[in-house]
Every structure is written in structure tokens, then in C-alpha cells.
A = this chain, B = another copy of it.
Amino acid sequence: MQEKAITIYDLAKECGVSPATVSKALNDYKGVSAKTRELVNETAMRLNFQANSMARYLNTKRSYSLGVLIYLGNSMPALKQTFFMDILESFKTQFEQNRYDIIILSKQLKGTHGSFLNHCKKRKTDGVLVFGDYTNPSITELIESDMPTVGFDYAGGKIPGVFSNNYEVTGELVRYLLSLGHRRIAFVHGELNFITEERMRAFSEAMREAGADPEPLMFEGKYYNVDFAREVTEKLLSSRERPTAILYPDDFTAIAAMQTAQKMGFSIPEDLSVAGFDGIDFADLVYPSLTTVKQNSVEIGRALARCLLNRINNGPSTMSSVVIKAKLKIGGSTAKPKAENK
């Protein structure tokens, strides 16, 4: 069906040397004369030779492929996570030079469909990048295995993790809102984990410092869960002592919440200030543009790539976390609260 690919043997015959020599020439090994090296490379170019990466793996034990694993539960389509995709884009770019390729590992986890770790083993990935729910058993298994792995927003210490300085920048966001005059600020946060807790702590402390009581204004939400965000928003805005500003766990939910509020007749930012986290492209496209904590997806992707490459090449010794600075990005969705609301 497929044209027969040309092999190292074809090259050898064409050049009048042995396959061994061809291999050495192509891989820039020592022990092959400049003349033959050039001949081989030139012939390889001429015949458009593409080394069989599978056969190569068998010897080298390096597949030059990486798995990426996005898992937020079976109901959350992996590839729709635009923020993760932004990071992945940067991650991928880093690895392009090193001839690594990326395999999408994410899948529905129903039945005994095989664990993520087994999937990696089968595909012989050199390493894995994980986004998602670190409490999931299949992800835990992976993290605890000897498969080189890095995680975004992971801080469990078993693998290198990269995350933003959530504590600082969340504080910055809250203080900014306070400085505008907001006092009743609600925080709809995501599922509890290290990142969420950092943000909650920052929120609490900033509010307390300003003399406001944060406790009644924290609400458990779910990352990227639009329905949930809408529900909470409706409830909050219907309550008698409604907040003048609401933070959401991510831009996705924040944008949905804006719509909900607007549908209810509130205008943004006059009647309600809204802010999100992440800083996806869409935050800039909606009206009013969303105030958000812009995480530096490019740097995060780079850091993840660096950590993983290091882990692959140098073994598990260097197991650090990297913190990337996020930036408060003020859009049109936040403003001084109206006098009557104060």
C-alpha cells in the first residue's frame, strides 16, 4: 500500500559502504572519515532518507516522543482547555528543536481502559507533561512511577512542578479591588488544591488587612465549569447583600458569569466588577474586556520543557519547583463600585 521506505541498507549499497558506517556517518559518530561522511550525508539527502524512528528506538531506548496528559475528569474535554493549550503550544515549541514529538495521551478513563502509565509504557514516551487532577489514581500512579514527568500547577514534591506566584498576584488583585472601594468582594474558587489554597489564603489575608471579613464570601466552585459558575453568580446577585465584585477561578467561568450578570440586568463594571484567572486570549475579546491574572503561558511552557528535559537527561536528582511570575491585567470588567452599593 505504502511505498517501501528506503533504509540504511539502500544507502549503504548506494554508497558502497556498510550499514554500520552509514549509521555512524548519519549520527555524527567518531570513526568515519570526512570523505565517507560527506558521501553518506549527501546520498541520504539525495534519496530523501528518513531514518526509521521505531527501529532506532529498539537500540537507543529513546523514542524522542513525549506524552501530554490533560485530565480534569471524564466530562471535561481535554483539548478544549484553551489555557492549557497555550502552555502546550509553548512547551511544544521548546521541544521542536530537539526533534521531540508530542503524543496526546488524554482519554476517557472508563472501565479498565488501561492506566496512563501503561499507555506511556506501551508508547515508550521519554517523558510526560501532566495537566489536571493530581488526585486521580491513574495520575498518581504515573507520578510515582519512574517515568520522567512534570506537572503544571503541581506542588506535591514527587515530580518537578511549575506554577505561577498565585499568592502574590492574587493579593495584588484583591488589593486593587479594595483600592477601588470594593468591600463586599466574593471569591468563587476552584476545587481545593495547592494552587487554590494559595489564592484563598491571599484573598483572606488581603481582605482581613482591609478590615473586611472574607469568610462568608468564599464559595467553592469548579475550574472551567460554566454551569456551576452561572448558578453561583445568580445566587450571589440575588442575595440581599450582594457583592460588588466577584472573582472566579478562571477566565472561562468569569466570562460566563459576566454574561449571566448582564442577562440579569446588571451592567459591568458599573453594577458588578468581575475578574478571572489565566489570561486567555478571549479575556481580551469580550466586552468589557476581562480583568484577569495573566499567567505567563510562554514562560510556563518553557519552564516545563526545561524541567522535563533535565529530568530525562539527568535522572530524578534535580526535583525542584519553578515559580513563574503572573501579572495583574486590568480590563474593563472592574471599576469603582457605584455609590449606592458601597
In the complex, which residue of chain B has the Cβ closest to the Cβ of A145?
B3
Q: How many residues of A contact B (CB 8 A)?
A: 58
In the complex, which residue of chain B has the Cβ closest to the Cβ of A48?
B118
Counting every copy of the chain, the complex holds 2
Chain A 70-120 interface residues, beta-carbon cutoff 8 Å to B: 77-80, 82, 85-86, 88-89, 92-93, 96, 101-105, 107-108, 113, 118
A226 contact set on B, CB distance < 8 A: 285
A89 contact set on B, CB distance < 8 A: 77-80
A146 contact set on B, CB distance < 8 A: 1-3
In the complex, which residue of chain B has the Cβ closest to the Cβ of A52?
B124
Binds B, one of A55-63, A179-187, A318-326: A55-63
Binds B, one of A29-37, A156-164, A237-245, A256-264: A256-264
Known: A124-B54, A262-B287, A287-B262. A107 touches B96 (CB 8 A): yes
In the complex, A147 has a CB within 8 A of chain B: yes
A265 and B7 alpha carbons, distance in the complex (Å): 65
Chain A 253-301 interface residues, beta-carbon cutoff 8 Å to B: 255-256, 258-259, 262-263, 281-282, 285-287, 289
**Nearest chain B CB to A79's CB is how many angstroms away?**
4
Chain A 132-161 interface residues, beta-carbon cutoff 8 Å to B: 146-147
A93 and B113 alpha carbons, distance in the complex (Å): 13
Known: A1-B315, A88-B79, A102-B103. A259 touches B53 (CB 8 A): no
A1 contact set on B, CB distance < 8 A: 146, 315
Is the beta-carbon distance between B50 and A54 smaller than 8 angstroms? no
Is the beta-carbon distance between B2 and A147 smaller than 8 angstroms? yes
Q: Which of B65, B107, B285, B315 contacts A259 (CB 8 A)?
A: B285
A78 and B85 alpha carbons, distance in the complex (Å): 9
A204 and B122 alpha carbons, distance in the complex (Å): 54
Known: A58-B54, A285-B259. A85 touches B96 (CB 8 A): no
In the complex, A338 has a CB within 8 A of chain B: no
In the complex, A5 has a CB within 8 A of chain B: yes
Interface string of A23-53 (1 = CB under 8 A from B): 0000000000000000000000000101111
**Nearest chain B CB to A272's CB is how many angstroms away?**
12
A78 contact set on B, CB distance < 8 A: 89
In the complex, which residue of chain B has the Cβ closest to the Cβ of A282?
B282
A285 contact set on B, CB distance < 8 A: 226, 252, 255-256, 259, 286
Q: Which 7 A-B pairs have the closest CB atoms?
A: A79-B85, A262-B287, A259-B287, A50-B121, A54-B57, A54-B54, A79-B89
Interface residues of A (CB under 8 A from B): 1-3, 5, 48, 50-55, 57-58, 61, 63, 65, 77-80, 82, 85-86, 88-89, 92-93, 96, 101-105, 107-108, 113, 118, 121-124, 146-147, 226, 252, 255-256, 258-259, 262-263, 281-282, 285-287, 289, 315
In the complex, 13 of the A-B residue pairs with CB atoms within 8 angstroms, ordered by the A residue number, are A5-B121, A52-B124, A53-B122, A54-B55, A54-B124, A55-B58, A77-B86, A79-B85, A79-B88, A79-B89, A101-B103, A255-B282, A255-B286
